[in-house]
Amino acid sequence: MSVLIETMRREGFELLVSRPKVIIKEIDGVKSEPIERLVVNVPDDCIGNVIEKLGRRKAEMINMEPLDTGHTKVEFKIPARGLIGYRTEFLTDTKGEGTMNSIFDCYEPYKGEIQARTRGVLVAFEQGTSITYGLYNAQERGELLIGAGVDVYEGMIVGINSRNEDISINVCKEKHLTNTRASGSDDALRLVPPVQMSLEKAIEFIAEDELVEVTPKNIRLRKKILDNKTRERMARRNSNE
């Protein structure tokens, strides 16, 4: 899908892309979902972390086979939606040495909710241009996705929170002028280089309430509901239901 979107982007199209969804069917009156047969080959010292992460995604281990190469081959059955967004995480957990392959196996009864992403995002509070001072305060909360001098709008995702919650943040905030200011105090602000999101990584990363905004020149992340107050009101309503 990312290859098709990238081709369209280069031809001048602009798109909003949501998180991929699997096809749910009702079989004999039971809500059912597609199950993949997944085979991973990972270094022995990484196998515990991989099994734990896949377990959170409702994977069921059906076979494990140690190899002579210092790797372990493990076979799982896992809901197809559990694999969405996992490849990048898998490569990180195996230090780029792991391989994974999957193929459709069957439909089985729905396995329940899967919490794939464990971190929230930093969302722009207002429209404007990102300022070093505002970004410096924001990076204390997590990882930035943009640098200084970037045009932002309300509801645009500008960073990844270190905690499992979304935070609205003002990256356009300027430092208040005072009568006295230490020499070189502004120059002392150093920003960590922003995380570069490829199209494929962005599609894997977004949650159900987020979109990838694709234009010929930019790839941005945003909330489906841009207005902060409306989004907070909807979140409170959903938590009370």
d(CA 31, CA 62): 23
Res 60 pLDDT > 70: yes
Query: Of the candidates 109, 138, 168, which is a domain's last residue?
Result: 109
Whole-prediction pTM: 0.78
Whether residues 230 and 125 fall in one domain: yes
The predicted pLDDT at position 92 comes to 87
Whether residues 139 and 82 fall in one domain: no
Domain CATH code at residue 9: 2.40.50.250
Res 26 pLDDT > 60: yes
Mean pLDDT of the chain, nearest integer: 88
Whether residues 13 and 32 fall in one domain: no
Q: How many residues does the chain have?
A: 241
Domain CATH code at residue 59: 3.30.70.240
The predicted pLDDT at position 11 comes to 92
Average pLDDT over residues 3-21: 91
Looking at mean pLDDT, say which of 31-35, 51-55, 65-69, 206-210 comes out highest.
31-35
Whether residues 101 and 146 fall in one domain: no
Of 34 and 208, the one with more pLDDT: 34
Whether residues 46 and 92 fall in one domain: yes
Q: Is 138 exposed, middle or buried, given 0-12, 13-18 or 19+ CB atoms closer than 10 A?
A: buried
Query: Of the candidates 109, 137, 155, which is a domain's last residue?
Result: 109
Whether residues 132 and 104 fall in one domain: no
Question: Partners of 76 in the beta sheet?
Answer: 38, 61
Are the C-beta atoms of 34 and 104 separated by less than 8 Å?
yes
Query: Of the candidates 109, 142, 175, which is a domain's last residue?
Result: 109
Q: Which of 62, 111, 119, 39 is nearest to 85 (CA)?
A: 119
Whether residues 235 and 133 fall in one domain: yes
- Comparing 175-184, 189-198, 216-225, the range with the smallest average pLDDT is 175-184
Whether residues 127 and 234 fall in one domain: yes
Res 156 pLDDT > 50: yes
The predicted pLDDT at position 204 comes to 85
Tell me the per-residue pLDDT of 72-103, one tens digit each, with 9 for 90 and over: 999 999 999 999 888 888 988 898 889 999 99
d(CA 102, CA 75): 10
Tell me the per-residue pLDDT of 190-204, one tens digit each, with 9 for 90 and over: 888 998 888 888 988
Q: Give residue 185's pLDDT band: very low, low, confident or very high (50, 70, 90).
A: low
Res 178 pLDDT > 60: no
Whether residues 132 and 217 fall in one domain: yes
Tell me the per-residue pLDDT of 107-119, one tens digit each, with 9 for 90 and over: 999 998 887 677 8
Q: Is 196 exposed, middle or buried, given 0-12, 13-18 or 19+ CB atoms closer than 10 A?
A: exposed
Whether residues 94 and 150 fall in one domain: no
Res 62 pLDDT > 70: yes
Are the C-beta atoms of 121 and 157 separated by less than 8 Å?
yes
Res 65 pLDDT > 70: yes
The predicted pLDDT at position 177 comes to 57
Q: Give residue 183's pLDDT band: very low, low, confident or very high (50, 70, 90).
A: very low
Whether residues 12 and 30 fall in one domain: no
Whether residues 87 and 130 fall in one domain: no
Domain count, the chain: 2
Average pLDDT over residues 23-39: 95
Task: Provide the domain limits for residue 214.
Answer: 2-17+117-240
